Structure 1
């Protein structure tokens, strides 16, 4: 059987001021049917490599189309989106006939004139392959699970873990269910329940650890094929933003609806207990300083580029400097100009460097700090599991008060200690490490940390879900409404 695959991934913050253009995708790499060969260890190639491996083991063939990804930012430029969409569709037509389609998408991609890029792409693919060829889709759990997606795909599965440590496992699940559908061994049907909730859920702590296990306990028996909890992406203002649970069964829609509704009820009951907590900057610093030995990791969640933030805010760094706190590492700050200045100065040079605060109000004020250039790299990288993430040219600078700062030229969240250690920064003896990330850092930083604290600093990603200025998304959601299922005036 011939299996067609394509990858198109970005998460759109519709409140971000800067659009996502071709350059945003090019910084990750755009591959035209060869990501598995050219970038096998990268975030675009690893999924295609796994699909080839699975297919070959079963005597199938994979036809690989476009692979493109961009760091989250504003809406994708319409011409860029349409160019990618049309390339995938042209490749599909050239590959016909195919027995199945497997897509690696995000689920929260928004273009200038399309609020549901993934739904539109899946629908166009359905028109080409017809009703009998199964379409399987893997989504990020921060997706907008839409009726258009559900109507046109046979199998949709999203990640269960945040951080997304299970992406390859979920891709294997999509592949297996899609192939089983193509071979007539199952007839998947999907039921979705709108939880009417907007928020963030950390699967690294209870009660969400138990909730993920509960979903998994239902799969693979009594006709239940897959269970997904799509957290939604709160900073995407589209009609179907928000948390949704969907269940895939083998031709039993009633059972799928019942299980989805039951899980949604369980999630609702734990809504307060599952809320992430965050400390104001000084409270977080005070608590970190009170820890007697061991590393404390502070997450600058409001400046996470993985959610569309600029990644150059100075609010936490400013308080560290003002309070004279030492033995700190902070990274990574997106600052092309500062990196260039360090490269021109050279390793060992002491200079006054203007750091951060360059992208707008949400970035704070630039800091002019006396620093020493400790290390430079032309192609700095970090690793998460076996996947490589590129940070571009980078510089390690240190202040006179022993604050080590990593600067980079590719906007990316910090999710691995290798972002620091790869430049020579020893984290073993550090008191505090500040990372610009909401949750992906947890997988690799938590094992080396005495404590992990989430910081409520100013920035582009407000966690005040009550007051997110939605214009498209209806207001009938918790926590804006105490009970959105009863308050019909907001329905």
Structure 2
């Protein structure tokens, strides 16, 4: 084959109940890239994240042409004018490359603007209008998405990551590309069927029964005529009429087969639904457990034990929370607990103050409790600055580098706090280690994340608990004040 494959990415996850604004500048802060800058770094080397895509496209004898990469931390709906600006930048890049033989997009699936509940569907419609009905369009998406009628209508193939934590992005991208190339060769005609599970929920996949459920999807995809199966978890904090959990099945031009498979998958999910979700503990129970440890959770010798990992799930910036809540920090300090590390706390002003005094400096620092009603009250703490770092990146399983901005590590009353100037969740131990803090040497690690931390932290964790603090992400889904989504 010959010709061009156009690639672009436009991603954010919208929390309808967040007060953290999302604007064009939010995408700039996320590391916006354009054209060849998406594929090659400043030295002209292929970016590691783009290597598999580039090799796959070139392996088909085709040229990869890149448009726009724009990714913003989750927050409130995007200002609509800024969404239109981003959309136009992507479409302009596509116009400049026409004709193209295929379009491949990285999307989130839960992006909303102040005037559009379905940004992905809107974008796909505009892309389709440019390239026409014959050019195949594929997309890889996050399962915490809203699967809408427009998305299904205007995309030829969509694969939503099966794993949560999302460690299978490369595999799903390869799946989409395989189908796109087969379409170009005339070997496949994807046909989509959607089954609405009539529920919304939260489905980590590392433990049973979800682990077995995901494995069964891979098995079903081996069935003759079945091309792809996705469980679209939905994003419970996005208030849109088409929210909720859905099954998406693509077959090779066989609607009846797609309907049968989608319904089977939906029934299987319904059977295990009561056993899915997160099992949480309260702040009070967390403090009791920490107080019950001697020096470390599994004994007194820190060389032979692993730290407890406690997830501050309601303050996860990956779901639109501020990442500066202080409920757990206050409780730990009030209980006199030591040898605990917490991160990443989003507090640019505190980070700036630490950089000003430098490593070894001492100051009284006001930490956290600043952004929203879900932030709690600030912690005023006499601290020593133990580390500072500029333009920091968090290495996540050697797969991706997540920007943290400038960071600072301080210690006060025996508690270590790592803060960043970019609001991002704690994906991996490198979020602590990059600045010199050895996470494996602490009795407990408090991470501001919901479940993405699991993949990287599980190998160093003695035990893992989800702590249900007060916060912007309410995990009692029955209490979410929906206006548009009909339960």
What aligned pairs does 1:136-285 form with structure 2 within 5 A after superposition?
136-285=138-287
Match of 1:437 in 2: 449
Aligned residue for 2:65, secondary structure, equals strand
Shift >6 Å, 4+ stretches: 39-42
Match of 2:389 in 1: 377
Aligned residue for 2:440, secondary structure, equals coil
In the aligned structure 1, how far is the partner of 2:410 from the partner of 2:450?
Answer: 24
In the aligned structure 2, how far is the partner of 1:31 from the partner of 1:279?
Answer: 41
Match of 1:295 in 2: 307
8 Å CA contact retained: 2:146, 2:234: yes
* Pair 1:35-2:47 in alignment: no
Structure 1's unaligned 5+ residue stretches are 476-491
Match of 2:302 in 1: none
1:395 to 408, 430, 455: 408
1:120 to 119, 122, 126: 122
Cα displacement (A) at 1:135: 0.7
In the aligned structure 2, how far is the partner of 1:105 from the partner of 1:40?
Answer: 27
TM-score (norm 2): 0.94
Match of 1:313 in 2: 325
Alpha-carbon distance change, 143 to 303 in structure 1, aligned in 2, over 3 angstroms: same
In the aligned structure 2, how far is the partner of 1:31 from the partner of 1:292?
Answer: 46
Cα displacement (A) at 1:172: 0.7
Match of 1:74 in 2: 76
8 Å CA contact retained: 1:377, 1:395: yes
In the aligned structure 1, how far is the partner of 2:179 from the partner of 2:123?
Answer: 20
Cα displacement (A) at 1:47: 5.0
8 Å CA contact retained: 1:313, 1:459: yes
Over the aligned positions, Cα root-mean-square deviation in angstroms equals 1.7
8 Å CA contact retained: 2:19, 2:372: no
8 Å CA contact retained: 1:41, 1:388: no
Cα displacement (A) at 1:48: 3.9
Cα displacement (A) at 1:258: 0.8
Match of 2:430 in 1: 418
Query: What are the Cα deviations for residues 286-340 of structure 1, in whole angstroms up to 9, with x where unaligned?
Result: 2354542331000000000000000000000110000011110100100011111
* Pair 1:355-2:358 in alignment: no
Query: What are the Cα deviations for residues 77-103 of structure 1, in whole angstroms up to 9, with x where unaligned?
Result: 112111111122222222222111111
Query: What are the Cα deviations for residues 172-227 of structure 1, in whole angstroms up to 9, with x where unaligned?
Result: 11111111112111111011111111121110110010011000111133111111
Relative to structure 2, which stretch is displaced further, 374-383 or 284-293?
284-293
TM-score (norm 1): 0.94
Aligned residue for 1:193, secondary structure, equals strand
The number of equivalent residue pairs is 473
